[in-house]
Amino acid sequence: MDQRLHFITLATRNLDAARAFYQDGLGWEAKLDVPGEILFYQVAPGLLLGLFDADKFAEDLGRSAAPDVSGVTLSHNVGSPEAVRRTVESMASAGGTVLKEPAQGKFGGIFHAHVEDPNGVVWEIAHNPGWRINDDGGVELS
Amino acid sequence: MDQRLHFITLATRNLDAARAFYQDGLGWEAKLDVPGEILFYQVAPGLLLGLFDADKFAEDLGRSAAPDVSGVTLSHNVGSPEAVRRTVESMASAGGTVLKEPAQGKFGGIFHAHVEDPNGVVWEIAHNPGWRINDDGGVELS
């Protein structure tokens, strides 16, 4: 199995709230939007984030109960502590809930915050001076 | 907020089982491996998958209980139905649990299977003839 992810799909109870947050609030553009079913956003080269109706998500896995999203954090890195603050303000204005205000983290000089989207998906917004992406897409962590 | 994901972090109860599955079983190479704490794998250009000790994951979010991963599916696309079958066999040999045997899906001519990793993370292995990645990393869905 190649070391490669092509889709991340999240069980989503309220697709309209997701659309209002990501699209109307943050200005993201959907790759595909099937109301009541699924919303796809491209979030990295070759990678789509799928927000899938929670009942259909459960059905697809052969499970009876629509699950909440738990045990997962999505991180978005920005270039400075100030950009962390600005991004968190944008997310709060768009309807996100700030779980952890921007602050110095415990490791590696990271400055970060946590914001929950309207369906309980947790985003970490971070400035990490030891992280970078090379021209070839390779990630370096120091 | 740019439409961009840089890390996906999953609460992981058993990091040794994760390492045995992805590294020893599937041949993946870690970008960083801090035993008892976190394992990072690069899974797309500019994107790392982080498997983070579940207790530390909870602590980082200021929550008391270590969460299980739920409501998320990670998808890996391959070039043919036969490659779906081969990949699912590799994952089962590496210690994965097959939740749904390879079969035709409901939508878009997709042929897929679901396999759970040793920590309950669900992978969809799929052949989707209507999906492709362009040279610039843009994804097309038809």
The answer to whether B34 contacts chain A (CB < 8 Å) is no
The answer to whether A71 contacts chain B (CB < 8 Å) is yes
B140 CB burial (10 A radius; 0-12, 13-18, 19+): exposed
Percentage of residues in chain B having pLDDT higher than 70: 100
* DSSP secondary structure letters along A61-127: TT-SSPPPPBSEEEEEE-SSHHHHHHHHHHHHHTT-EEEEEEEE-SSTT-EEEEEE-TTS-EEEEEE
Tell me what pLDDT residue A106 has: 80
The answer to whether A65 contacts chain B (CB < 8 Å) is no
- Taking one residue from A and the other from B, the number of pairs with CB-CB distance under 8 angstroms is 185
pLDDT tens readout for residues B58-83? 999 988 899 999 999 999 999 999 99
**Res. B106 pLDDT band, cuts 50 70 90:** confident
pLDDT tens readout for residues A32-55? 999 999 999 999 999 999 999 999
Tell me what pLDDT residue A142 has: 85
Percentage of residues in chain B having pLDDT higher than 90: 92
**Res. B121 pLDDT band, cuts 50 70 90:** very high
pTM of the model: 0.96
List of domains in chain B: 1-66 (3.10.180.10), 69-142 (3.10.180.10)
Which residue has 């035709």 as its token pair? Answer: B104
pLDDT tens readout for residues A75-104? 999 999 999 999 999 999 999 999 999 999
- Residues of B whose CB is below 8 A from A37: none
- Alpha-carbon distance of A132 to B105, in angstroms, equals 38
Chain centroid to CA A32: how far? 17
CB contact under 8 A, B3 and A43: yes
- Which strand ranges, in their side-by-side order, compose the sheet holding A38-44? A32-34, A38-44, A47-53, A7-12, B72-77, B122-127, B111-116, B97-104
